[in-house]
Structure 1
Amino acid sequence: MKNKKIFIVLLMCITLLIGFLSACGQDTDSNNSTDNDLEESEEKHEKETKTFEAANGTVEIPSHPERIIVVADSYVGYFLTLGIQPIGVSDFSMENRYFEGKLDGVESIGESNNPSMEKMVDLNPDLIITFNDANAVENLEKIAPTIAINYGEKSYKEQLKEFGDMTGREKEADEWIEQWESKIAEWKPKIQEIVGDQTVSILSPFSKGIYAFGHNFGRGGEIIYDEFDLKAPETVQEIAIDSGEGWADFSLETLPEIAGDIIFTCPWSGDEADPEHVYGSKLWEELPAVKQDRVIELDPDAAFFNDPTSLDQQLDFIIESLQNNA
């Protein structure tokens, strides 16, 4: 009888011990599960965001941003080329005829140098693209991760590749560059043969004189000088192109010196000066290009843009113009 009681007590102890060990195992599994969930969550967060080196420092951005506001006019067409329609752009971008039909449903945020902060907050962006202005960036960063860009620091091909990397659209960037270079390779020798040794200038009257544009400041310069490698007047080549600036301003008196055998021109879109102080002057009327009807008029708003979407259409215009006027 005594032995039977001892056996029962031992059996109860063993049962309790097994239950205790089982509970410990469950706690361990639970802790491991929690740790695994935490690791998976952290890994997922890392995949959903990435860091990007911008002019305003290291910025954490979505890996695949979907709601992008492009404050800086110059970069809207890059995103369109990548197959991304921004949710908000400036008024000036809305006026670019090269974007016609591509910004349907996109909201205007006002002027690029003074956008509506309230409008942008309402749009709930996950990424904002802007020029590198410290005061503007500081305000925009309160709304969403903001990438600031130094205009002209990269070529348009480099800039497209950067945006492709930023948005996970590397393939689309490479495809555009490939087709673009194919078109340039086809047309460059034809245009060089048509133009020959003639010089080409890109001029815009403004309130204090004349701007001459070079190889990287819009108005078709990227195509005329950089891709087709056409000759600029010597002074323009030295001051606007070789300097790397992409533009230079001149007084009216220097017009004969900076005017090429072929002139692309439009009023400067940055002020409201009357362009007739140049176009109506005797100096202008006496230029060989004017007398020989080799002046090609640019759209003053659209000519500002040098993004891939705009360049595609500018290329067609420049080719046709040079075929008809050279």
Structure 2
Amino acid sequence: MHKRFRFYVLMVLTLGLAMLMGACGQSASHAGYSGDEQLSETSAAAFSSDTSSSAETVIFHAGNGDIKVPKQPKRIVDLTDFYTGYFLALGVQPVGVSTGAIENPYLKGKLDGVEDIGTDPSPEKILELNPDLIITYSGTEGIDKLEQIAPVVAIDFGKKNYKDQMIDFGKLTGKEEEAKAWVDQWNQKINDLKPKVQAALGDKTVSILNPYAKGLFVFGHNYGRGGEIIYDEFGLKAPPEAQKAAIDSGTGWASISIEKLPEFSGDIIFTCPWSGDTTDPKIVYDSAIWKGLPAVKNGHVFQLNPKGDTYNDPVTLEAQLNFITDSLLSVTS
């Protein structure tokens, strides 16, 4: 996830005893465009000239209202990081994406030739790419500046599950049939794997745990790190305390102290260092409490990728599905 998004998450955690990410926090000011930034007269003139064509448009229902967008956008600039994989899964390659998307290992090789616009691109930088559509988050500061360049679709982060979001992006890009096909193929994969996983694990519980500066984050069903697959698709259970705090609550996460770790630790653990700070995870991993967990003693701990597994886009989910399935089935092999 990119630094801007991580910083927002940490601010929310500090001020509200909560985390809303992410990659991640996934979400008011995901992109910063200072109110002092103005498009130059030359840039504004270029924009006016470039967008004067009578290309066919449609109305798309976005987080920032009903937006008139090209029926089949050709030059998308995606400022979100977390949604880039949706476009790639639809066969639509943006012309510009944020650094966080470039750094997602699961998107490697799929963004060749795409401009890395950084973490806080200026309107002028975006204008250089001559976009016909810009994707950002609801609440992004400076949307009015972006709207001088191209139609802006703002996404309410996490409001829709990934299947509904995929269909939505299919409508946005003129790829609705491709989006439906992806959902159908995904559902078939889950239907094939779910009985095998459930039969192999029985009533074993699963935890997703990330050490961070003040203890651990316990993740649930809708904040990446495989939670969508483990809990929603495979229907596996977390330990009762984790189930209650991170899943049944609807929040998708909980923050705990290391002393409470045994209550939130399942028979199987997926873990990785929290990517939102630089705390040494060995504070947790080398502790007597961690080493005393049954999952650790039994070798049932699996390391996630801190740079990629925070995402839950279709490309990332497909990669996660293979790793999570193999990991879970290895417990009984």
Same fold (TM over 0.5): yes
| Mapped pair 1:233 → 2:246 | no
CA RMSD, aligned part only?
1.4
Of Structure 1 and Structure 2, which has the larger fraction of its residues in helix?
A: 1
Instruction: Tell me the residue number matched to 1:256.
Output: 262
Instruction: Tell me the residue number matched to 1:32.
Output: none
1:252–1:278 contact (8 Å) kept in structure 2: yes
1:110–1:116 contact (8 Å) kept in structure 2: no
Instruction: Tell me the residue number matched to 1:82.
Output: 90
Q: What amino acid is the match of 1:168?
A: G
Q: Aligned partners of 2:180, 2:149: CA distance in 1, in Å?
A: 31
Structure 1 unaligned blocks of 5 or more: 1-43
**How many Å apart are 1:141 and its aligned residue?**
2.0
Q: What amino acid is the match of 2:268?
A: I
**How many Å apart are 1:142 and its aligned residue?**
2.6
Secondary structure in 2 matching 1:61: strand
Runs (4+) of structure 1 exceeding 6 A deviation are: none
What is the TM-score with the length of structure 2 in the denominator?
Answer: 0.82
**How many Å apart are 1:58 and its aligned residue?**
1.8
- 5 Å matches for 1:161-176? 161-176=167-182
Instruction: Tell me the residue number matched to 1:279.
Output: 285
1:204–1:268 contact (8 Å) kept in structure 2: yes
**How many Å apart are 1:227 and its aligned residue?**
0.2
Secondary structure in 2 matching 1:303: coil
Name which one, 1 or 2, has greater alpha-carbon Rg: 1
| Mapped pair 1:218 → 2:224 | yes
Q: Aligned partners of 1:136, 1:191: CA distance in 2, in Å?
A: 47
| Mapped pair 1:151 → 2:157 | yes
Q: Render the CA deviation track for 1:155-199: whole Å, top value 9, x for unaligned.
A: 100000000011110110011011111110000000001111010
Structure scoring higher RCO (CA < 8 A, sep ≥ 6) equals: 2
Q: Render the CA deviation track for 1:272-294: whole Å, top value 9, x for unaligned.
A: 11111211211111111111111
The 3 A distance-change label for structure 1 pair 174 and 116 is same
Q: Render the CA deviation track for 1:228-283: whole Å, top value 9, x for unaligned.
A: 00011111111111121111111111111111110000011111111112112111
The 3 A distance-change label for structure 1 pair 272 and 79 is same
Q: Render the CA deviation track for 1:119-170: whole Å, top value 9, x for unaligned.
A: 2111111111111124142332232211111111101000000000111101
Task: Tell me which of 109, 112, 117 is aligned to 1:101.
Answer: 109
Structure 2 unaligned blocks of 5 or more: 1-52
- 5 Å matches for 1:10-49? 45=54, 48-49=56-57
Instruction: Tell me the residue number matched to 1:205.
Output: 211
Instruction: Tell me the residue number matched to 1:323.
Output: 329
Instruction: Tell me the residue number matched to 2:302.
Output: 296
Q: Aligned partners of 1:79, 1:55: CA distance in 2, in Å?
A: 18
Secondary structure in 2 matching 1:304: coil
Q: Aligned partners of 1:134, 1:261: CA distance in 2, in Å?
A: 41
Q: What amino acid is the match of 1:69?
A: V
1:52–1:61 contact (8 Å) kept in structure 2: yes
Instruction: Tell me the residue number matched to 1:68.
Output: 76
